[in-house]
Structure 1
Amino acid sequence: MASLLYLGVRPELDAATAERASFRIALGVDDDRLDRVDLTTTRLPEDAFERYAGFVIGGSPYNVTDVRKSETQQRVEADLERIAARALDGGTTAFFTCFGIGVVTRLLGGAVTTDHPEEAAAAEIRTTAEGADDPLFGPAGPVFQAFTAHKEGSVAVPPGAVLLAGNEACPVQAYRAGADLYATQFHPEPSPRDFADRMVFYRTTGYFDPEAFHTVQEAILASVVSEPARILHRFGERALARHSAGGR
């Protein structure tokens, strides 16, 4: 039976474990249909493109704009570029999130800067006209809430990609490149409880005022965020159906 692969790119492996659980629930798949590889400790398997119907890439404290990068981060970025390139060629399906959108933007020849950060919060996201026609984003409606927490962002939609969603703080919140590569700046997978729990791992890393931890966490827990997980669910259905139909 075909399965998907979750790629963890968080050095904090406990945070990656919780993130993988969030992805599984949002995708709506059984535990044995979402495998896991942590790229911070393990290279992308050589047979990954033959084994999996599609890939979902989690978030990370890494930044594409980091001036000094460890060997681990450089290796992670190279593996993510391999997946993005294969999806661009139609050889697989992939959904990149948070840090991953920067990797894809750079690969496509776009610019990533620190001009469009967003603190940890439930942000209003607006779909574009192209987003309204997209099979994943169209059903989400013209406006929805999604969780954000990032220090960098794409300056504009990169060459060859179609802008699907944005907002005032960060104009590039989501895009599609080709038919099989999706990338979001926001986090599509966590529930409010998941996101509030994730904050514990990153309390002093610059995504929110650590002195306001409880206030920010309470606001997260009180938010209503449902559409991003449905977007991810539609991606999973599409990837598995494509594989069953012999799409690669």
Structure 2
Amino acid sequence: MTSRAHTLERSDSDVRTGIKPFLLLASRADDEAADDEYASFLATGGLQPHELVRIRLEAGSLPPIDLDDYSGIIVGGSPFNASDPVEQKSAVQLRVETELGALIDHVIERDFPFFGACYGIGLLTSRLGGVVDDSTPEVAGPTRIAITDDGAADQLFAGLQAEFDAYVGHKEACAVLPQGAVLLASGTACPVQAFRLGRNVYATQFHPELSRASILTRLRIYSDNGYFAPDTYDEVVATINGSSVTEPPALVRAFVERFRRPTSA
């Protein structure tokens, strides 16, 4: 898989298929983690490489984005934390958040299909006046998710089981929903696991794209980033190896199937 840092990874074949691609906005400086994330969204979304354009924002400024060129936008996880004090954020993080914030404004204005996972929920929440803080972190690994009544009626979440396990790993979370947000999924350790804004803007605290192999890859790469106590690494790995996470990938596929658009749209 390519590790080109900041290129619109798009082929003319996306035009030949007649389907507008999805756009993955990433911010992982580690090539292995970035490429694994891209591969994970390809696999869970049932997408071919020409159907998922990737831009690595940590490597350079976001180019002008015409939403009409895409079926939807995906923002994955990141080593960045939206709730970090401004003075602790690097110049790169501040730029990424400014650029994504401006794009989020357009997304909300148009109710454009958007899926933000982990860092994505933090960006949406903080941009739209909710509260993101460190009061409900979760150690890297599986956690139990429960669909709310609104989630059971939602166009994407309705296809999931009422309760299921999903992979998480976060130091911050949404503590107060943005105005107008609809809670779709919750958990005991972290009450806000997913919400929707409007009809088409989604965010999850859990990572629906992660397989067991992928979370173990990220665990290794980010072992010093505070997602678990250093002396518990073997225990965390054992918990993940003993887990069974099957439902969440269907959410990515549902997002793709619901929002893919022909080039003529």
TM-score by length of 2: 0.88
SS at match of 1:15: helix
Q: How far, CA to CA, are the matches of 1:160 and 1:244 in structure 2?
A: 31
Gaps of 5+ in 2: 1-17
- The farther-off stretch of 15-24 and 209-218 is 209-218
TM-score (norm 1): 0.94
Residue of structure 2 aligned with 1:101, choices 101, 107, 121: 121
- Contact (CA 8 Å) 1:84, 1:181: kept in 2 or not? no
CA distance in 2, matches of 1:13, 1:184: 24
Q: CA deviation at 1:218?
A: 2.5
Q: Does 1:150 align with 2:170?
A: yes
Give the match's secondary structure for 1:121.
strand
Match of 1:38 in 2: 56
> Which residue in 2 is equivalent to 1:80?
100
What's the secondary structure of 2:94's corresponding residue? Answer: helix
Report Cα offsets for 1:159-194 as digits up to 9, x if no partner: 111000011111111000011210111111011111
Q: CA deviation at 1:214?
A: 2.5
Number of residues paired by the alignment? 245
Mapped to 2, the partners of 1:98 and 1:209 lie a distance apart of: 20
Q: Distance in 2 between matches of 1:161 and 1:91?
A: 13
**Equivalent residue letter for 1:157:** L
Does residue 194 of the first structure (1) align with residue 210 of the second (2)? no
The answer for unaligned runs of 5 or more in structure 1 is none
- The Cα shift of 1:91 comes to 5.6
Q: 2:202 aligns with which of 162, 182, 195?
A: 182
Look up the equivalent residue of 2:194 and give its one-letter code: A
Indicate which of 203, 208, 211 corresponds to 2:228.
Answer: 208
The CA distance in 2 between the partners of 1:168 and 1:156, in whole Å, is: 16
Checking the alignment, whether the CA contact within 8 Å between 1:156 and 1:171 is kept in structure 2 is no
Q: Distance in 2 between matches of 1:53 and 1:82?
A: 19
- Farther off after superposition, 147-156 or 43-52: 43-52
Would you say the 8 A contact 1:90–1:179 is kept in 2? no
For residue 212 of structure 2, what is the amino acid of its counterpart?
Answer: P
**CA positional deviation for 1:6:** 1.2
Runs of 4+ in 1 over 4 A off after TM superposition: none
Pair 1:56–1:70, CA change in 2 (3 A) = same
